[in-house]
A = this chain, B = another copy of it.
């Protein structure tokens, strides 16, 4: 039995005149592939499931779309508009009174409100709760890759910057997004896990120290692979070419998935990641050699100052 309701989706597909449909799920929803596929097939559609890893709406399976009339991408909001793609967001309701737990840590009367896609449908309810406690919660849309009010991505903090706030409340799980907002805005950020009720001020300085250590290891690398993603929403070719031109030890390397095994097999002494920005920060521990962000490589090449260290963002061109 499908945990994802398919009634409305079937109506959407019929209204588009679709006969065949490709389904794409992120890791957390992949187990819904068979029940959703079975429901759509029983409704008369030819169904194809995308079996490749999927890390975001930047990661549309265009190969699967080639084999169907429509691609239904579950779990994420669009980062790029495509004619034959339907995005089915996953919404997870929280009790917004959990924001009470964060109040002791907030120091301003005007707070930028940020969250992830699962909770963005409650951004106004969050603001209303803050208002009831005498705090103005401000949510703004980001750029074309994060157009929903209050939604930040691991690669795009424009919705935070757009508020002009000097302090932020992040409601969501994990610390990568709020640390990214701190680095991107320079502002103080309080992170609240809406499930555990744990609130904390985030501190980007540990990340920075770790990254400087990685940069030191990469300093004398004899060969540098500049990774270019072949995923539709993760390809920054102009950036990669500009970076490759900074060093005569650098060459472009295309990758679909940035895997530790493949980095090892290729044998470059160091890589620079222009694919999903989070990879360099989150996955260094899995990688056999240093994987730098574009800004870090610029520092090593002497075209950016240490003081201008910045977090890598994939902003709308």
Contact = CB atoms under 8 A, between A and B. Distances in A.
Contacts of A268: 33-34
Nearest to A261: B53
A243 to B, nearest CB: 13
Contact of A251 (B38, B223, B256): B38
A253 B48 contact: yes
Interface stretch (A107-115, A204-212, A225-233): A225-233
B50 A254 contact: yes
Copies of this protein, total: 2
A225 B255 contact: no
A223 B34 contact: yes
Given A31-B267, A63-B256, A51 B251 contact: no
Contact of A52 (B34, B50, B255): B255
Given A48-B228, A61-B254, A257-B257, 20 more contacts: A22-B254, A27-B265, A30-B265, A30-B267, A34-B251, A34-B266, A37-B251, A48-B254, A49-B225, A49-B253, A49-B254, A51-B225, A51-B254, A52-B254, A52-B257, A63-B230, A63-B254, A64-B230, A67-B228, A256-B256
Sorted nearest first, the 7 A-B pairs with minimum C-beta distance are A63-B230, A51-B255, A51-B253, A34-B223, A30-B265, A48-B252, A31-B267
